[in-house]
Structure 1
Amino acid sequence: MSVIIRPPLPGDETALGPLHNHIWRIAYAGLMPSDYLQARSDVEATQRWKRLIRMLDRNRRDSNGRTVLVAEDGNRLVGFITVGPARDQEMDGFVELMSLYVHPDARGTGVAQKLTDHGLSDGPSYLWVLDRNRRAQAFYCKLGYDLDGATKPHEPTRTTEVRMIRY
């Protein structure tokens, strides 16, 4: 797999919207209500990505300081990462890993590692992950993250999320 990590470009939203939903439906099957996952609209996701891509400056940041990168394998997008300033007040000084998603066909190929290598600095960072998503938690542990005991509900589904921190 010859993956290139790059900023998203205008036009990528047509692949990113459906990709985002496809990954969610597979990754969160059995972890979130199936009706919630099935109701996710590719059209709405594509529009969200289009707005986000329009907001990015030449440094790949939006007006909130978030950086977005995509993973491209040949002519198809296979993943993405979003990082930015901490949204949780008590995490001031940390970078938040807001999203990291890889197409199921690209799992285990190093794509997620490449995305984190390009998207995250060596400084302190944190993320939220579903409490029952053991696969994701194991991956983040390999990156040096540990559970810190904080929890919160994923607002739309009330599914419990746990926080992981890397110093």
Structure 2
Amino acid sequence: MDLTQAPVLRAAGPDDAAAGATMHAACWREAYGPYVDAGLLEARLADTDRWVEAWTRQLAGGPPRVLAEVDGELVGFAVAGPSRDEDHATPAELYAIYTRSAWWGSGLGQRLWDAVRPDEPCSLWVLEANQRARAFYRRNGFEPDGSRELYAGLDAWEIRMVTP
């Protein structure tokens, strides 16, 4: 991974499903590894076909994804769309924003957020224990709204953060 080059941001297309899924799984391993049971995490990451199928489906019918790429290697992505929460606390939701750990602190996460930031109030769910991510979101105007739920797939608590 060439950290001397600034990643190029671009729209994801159907041909990005396999590489996107691989990068997404690597980001999960790096981001969630310190906070969740290693066995549960690896079990969720083991079914690579499921990850590729999800990316294929989401690229075909979901909100646009913005990818970060360096020398043909995907190093991050972000996607936002309409809120999926039953209470619709906000009209928009940040579904995902991830960068490979080598890019943490580089400003890439900010560039990705700026590329998908909705014009209306937005919510997101973040692992409660992930203080690094929570600090990033706070710098971008998100505050916890008191909602908390167990992410059963990783047996970890999440909190919802919202912008006004």
- Where 1:123 maps in the other structure, the secondary structure is coil
Q: Give the corresponding residue for 1:13.
A: 17
1:140 aligns with 2:137: yes
Report Cα offsets for 1:76-122 as digits up to 9, x if no partner.
Answer: 11111121111113225521011111011111121111111110124
Could you tell me which runs of 5 or more consecutive residues in structure 2 were left unpaired when the two chains were aligned: none
- Where 1:32 maps in the other structure, the secondary structure is coil
1:120 aligns with 2:117: yes
1:131 aligns with 2:131: no
* Displaced runs of 4 or more, over 3 A: none
1:81 aligns with 2:78: yes
Q: Give the corresponding residue for 1:58.
A: none
Q: Give the corresponding residue for 1:54.
A: 60
Cα distance, 1:37 vs structure 2: 1.3
- Where 2:20 maps in the other structure, the secondary structure is helix
CA RMSD in angstroms, aligned pairs only: 1.6
Contact 2:80 2:96 in 1 (8 A): yes
Cα distance in 2, alignment partners of residues 53 and 146 from structure 1: 29
Cα distance in 1, alignment partners of residues 90 and 103 from structure 2: 32
Could you tell me which runs of 5 or more consecutive residues in structure 1 were left unpaired when the two chains were aligned: 56-61
- Where 1:161 maps in the other structure, the secondary structure is strand
CA gap 1:136/1:82 in 2 versus in 1, 3 angstroms = same
Cα distance in 2, alignment partners of residues 14 and 90 from structure 1: 33
- Where 1:91 maps in the other structure, the secondary structure is coil
TM-score normalised over the length of structure 1:
0.86
1:35 aligns with 2:39: yes
